Amino acid sequence: MAHLDPGHWQDRLDTLAREHAVPGAAFGVLRLGRGDVPDDRLELATGVLHLGTGVTATPDSLFQVGSVTKVWTTTLLMTLVDEGRVDLDVPVREVLPEFRVADATASAGITPRHLLAHTSGFDGDTFVDTGRGDDCLQRYVDGLVVNRQLFPPGAAWSYNNAGFAVAGRIAEHLLGTTWDAALRERVVEPLGLAATVTLPEEVLRFRAALGHVEDDDGRWQPAPVWALPRSCGPAGMIISSVSDQLAFAAAHLRGGILGDGSRAAMTALQVQRVDHAGAEDANAWGLGWALGVWGGTPVHGHNGNTIGQSAYLRLFPDIGLATVLLTNGGAPDLLHQDLLTELLADVGVGAPDTLEPGTGPAPVADQMIGTWEQASARLEVRREGVGLVLRHTDTSPFAEIGPDAVWERPLAPYADSVALVQRPRSTSWSALTHETTPAGLELLHLGWRAHTRVVAPIGQGSSGRDAPP
């Protein structure tokens, strides 16, 4: 790759953001130097931070990074691993005695490793607002006693926001402070970061983005809510700049904050996802990091989505490259895909494989038919003609903010027990995969989340769901 040309990439960012209706974006690239060659760095912005005010996006603007926060929370917890204060394989209750979910056996067996690798098994897409007080995480974790178990700890994989609230609470308990303060003292300040915060009142000192959501007429409007509840902090509440995100990436590429063993542990394979590679550039998981392969080159990273804002962080250790894209609406997945495809082509790295509907006779398995649920979504699969149709209902507290609370799409056959679906405003295919665990539990995975079958209408003499053994 030649020296990063700011003029060229500014033009591409401007053009692609308009093409994908992204109101505002900031894009950063870091290529580590070698020997006497210094680092090559690119920080750009385009568009506006708020369609209502017209304030211009700049490279130093702050955006919500959403679930990219999970990697920061993992880094925070790993500092305690380095100090011998956290053992990833000792039950959480050894450190946090009050930790409880609905299943007593699972409560006693869930470990920090389960939390950081999304294998704890409890239903974790719960976004309960427990207030703005410094006790919000403690109150949130106390409330998990009602969260049901999707599968036994370690038996399968399902993305779990609440697990990172528990991880953040472990840090709070051991350090005697809030997650916000612990993150600042152990990660933000040691890296010398000046534009990374976690609380809305801290954002007032900066130029900051507002998210945008699509109205019923297909127009992008300023979001009616700015941020998630404070209790979601360790899972998704960092607000940061491109520069600070690249500095964080550099600390994971070349060292800083964590010992080499902990950095390596974060990218070591913990679980292979059950659905097929290609729907996204991540089909496995480490600790905090999503793991994948982009055109044959290993990559780890994370996406983040809040209310109308999306973030993408990618690290390519073999070529010493990191990228970050921060956005506030539109079709950011497509913008990210286009930017990275062009950027990586310059170093001979092809695009990741994509999922495409099968051309052979492999039928979509009938075992998918039925209703499936997890805390924030309901899936209904029915037969229609010779094929199947998926109806997806968002049951989260944020369902009414956007236009896609309910959507239906036909399923395309791919392989035995695997179908493909195109979500709204997406040109790529996602895998819908039926899994039966060794213990006989049925799960239906859409993207990063597992759903259990509803066996009877809720409230009619049944829990309404398969129960794990």
Record the tokens describing residue 272, joined without a space: 């292979």
Does residue 302 sit in helix, strand or coil?
strand
Given 61, 67, 262, 417, which residue is catalytic? 67
Residue 243: active-site member? no
Residue 383 backbone dihedrals phi, psi, to 5 degrees: -85, 135
User: Residue 310's closest CA among 186, 426, 183?
Assistant: 426
Question: Taking the CB of residue 106, how many other CB atoms lie within 10 A of it?
Answer: 22
**E runs forming strands in 53-184:** 63-64
- Which tokens sit at 170? 């472990």
Which one-letter DSSP state was computed for residue 276? P
Element containing residue 40 per DSSP (H, E): strand 40-47
Structure tokens at 128: 């309960």
CA distances to 38, 104, 372, 446 from 464, rounded to whole Å, are: 60, 20, 10, 20
Dist CA 251 CA 75 (whole Å): 10
Between CA 5 and CA 94 the distance in angstroms is 52
Region of residue 49 (left: phi > 0; alpha: psi -120 to 50; beta: else): alpha
> CB of 358 within 8 A of CB of 414?
yes
C-alpha atoms less than 13 angstroms from C-alpha of 176 in its C-beta half-sphere? 0
Give the residue among 414, 430, 81, 121 at the shortest CA–CA distance from 265: 81
> How many CB atoms are located within 10 Å of the residue 38 CB?
10
* Residue that is written with structure tokens 């953001």 in the block: 17
Q: Give the SS3 label for residue 379.
A: strand
Core vs surface per residue 220-244: b (16+ CB within 10 A) or e: bebbeebbbbbbbbbbbbbbbbbbb
CA angle 113, 118, 124 (to 5 degrees): 120
Question: In angstroms, rounded to a whole number, what is the distance separating the alpha carbons of residues 463 and 465?
Answer: 5
As given in the structure block, the two tokens for residue 116 are 């950081």
- Active-site residues: which are they? 67
